[in-house]
Amino acid sequence: MPAVPSILWILTTQWRAQSCGYAGDANARTPHLDTLAAQSRQFTAAITPHPFGPFARAAILTGVPCPQNGVREYYDPLPRDATTAAHFFRARGYATAWIGKWHLARRDPSAPLIGEPHARMVVAPEDRGGFEHWEGFESGFLLNDPWLHGSGHGEPTRFPGYQSDVLVDRTLLYLAGRTAGLSPIAEDPGGQRDPRRPWFCILSLEAPHPPYAAPAAGIAPPAPESLVLPANVPRGGEVETQARRELSGYYAHLEATDRALGRLIAALPPNVRVVFTSVHGDMHGAHGLFRKGWPHEESVRVPLLIRDPVLPPERITRPVSLLQLRELSLDPTAIAAGPVHCSMPSVVNLPHQCDRAWTGLRTATRKWVFAADGQPWLGFDLASDPSEIRNWTVETVAELPLTSRST
């Protein structure tokens, strides 16, 4: 058994921090993640650097926020010369692998976002972030029967089944090959066949991203009227109706993905550091809003669990940014001091998304949000008002250093 633990990142999409059984969500059926949480360092104030997919992925992979990493607009690709987590971990002796959704290549803005055009789009080898093994897809939001290409698949190949199950199966196949010292699928550059070499693998899932009405591996969605809604979802109108309808499918996909992840986690060797998180959340009707890009907790706060082979479980309330994820993965105790920053670098012209660029600062108990011109927009005392009902930015903005407004 190698002295250095191998590292598995599980990146989901649109999974809110509060939408887990272990976080107290009465609607969430996540027994496998609940067990993982009980064994992990649980970061209860983990924040995405940008609550929108491509921006968040680019920042998480590079450790550099947008637009400094080269991604300013929704369709901007990750620059080919970007230094990613693949380079970071490979320089430290790890074999590197990516399996699943990429969403960082140059896409055609005129092509439909949902469906086969994006799902079958081929990501060129030089656009795969430097990973030695890469098997995935650009996007497409096909939660069933995904198309995969990359290592071992010159052209996109359709794999029947629920996407989370398919990608877990592909991850298990890759890890079986690593354990046996074999290339599990195709060419294996960089000495990756050496079973003594620790590995760093990212499993990137689209679930529980919409379409929420898509089948969820046989999981029956809960009845919309049975769901317990947070107090900040307006009642008695179309917002409540839409929230209940979408959350019904959302919780089915949470359960189906939790079940798939349970299979994966149970099959891991003991010397693996498991990291579970999400690139962003979803408003689901909170404050009358939907989808992501917004600076509210439902959009920016994400689950973060790190199960270490040696470290004991611990609940950590200090805020952390997923910009720190590479360093935390090497040392789960290395939490940077001070507040964390979050932003939307540009407006994404898609339905329901945030209508302005902004920058934000979050401490353990407070949050400030500024518009692109530096003017205060939102602020909340999270200790007394966790649902962010009362905006007190104007009253308290004087407490914040002016230099923080544009950071």
Kindly state the DSSP code that residue 144 receives in the 8-state scheme: B
Residue 166 in any domain: the answer is: yes
Contact (CB, 8 A) for 279 and 60: yes
- How far is it, in rounded angstroms, from Cα 275 to Cα 303? 10
Tell which wins on pLDDT, 190 or 283.
Answer: 283
Q: Pick from 46, 128, 93: which is nearest to 302 by CA? A: 46
What is the count of structural domains for the chain? 2
pLDDT at 70: 97
Q: Is the pLDDT of residue 240 over 80?
A: yes
Lateral strand order in the sheet of 320-321 = 301-302, 46-47, 320-321
Rounded mean pLDDT of the chain? Answer: 92
At 249-284, the pLDDT tens digits run 999 999 999 999 999 999 999 999 999 999 999 999
Do 195 and 282 reside in the same domain of the chain? yes
Do 197 and 89 reside in the same domain of the chain? yes
Q: Is the pLDDT of residue 395 over 80?
A: no
pLDDT at 144: 98
Helix (H) or strand (E) holding 160: none
Q: Is the pLDDT of residue 403 over 90?
A: no
Do 260 and 385 reside in the same domain of the chain? no
Q: Indicate the pTM of the whole model.
A: 0.93
Q: Pick from 167, 14, 13, 40: which is nearest to 97 by CA? A: 167
For residue 12, give the CATH number of its domain: 3.40.720.10
The label of the residue with tokens 């007394």 reads 384
- How far is it, in rounded angstroms, from Cα 386 to Cα 333? 26
What is the gyration radius of the CA atoms in the chain, in angstroms? 20
Do 263 and 376 reside in the same domain of the chain? no
Contact (CB, 8 A) for 309 and 257: no
pLDDT at 108: 87
Determine the average pLDDT of the residues in 206-217: 97
Lateral strand order in the sheet of 199-204 = 153-158, 147-150, 133-137, 95-101, 199-204, 6-12, 272-278, 304-307, 41-43, 314-316
Range in 90-104, 177-191, 336-350, 357-371 the model is least confident about: 177-191
Residue 350 in any domain: the answer is: no
At 339-386, the pLDDT tens digits run 999 999 999 988 889 999 999 999 999 999 999 999 999 999 999 999
Q: Which structural domain, as residue segments, surrounds residue 263?
A: 6-338
Residue 210 in any domain: the answer is: yes
Do 237 and 163 reside in the same domain of the chain? yes
Cβ-Cβ contacts under 8 Å for 239 (sequence gap 6 or more): 233, 285, 288
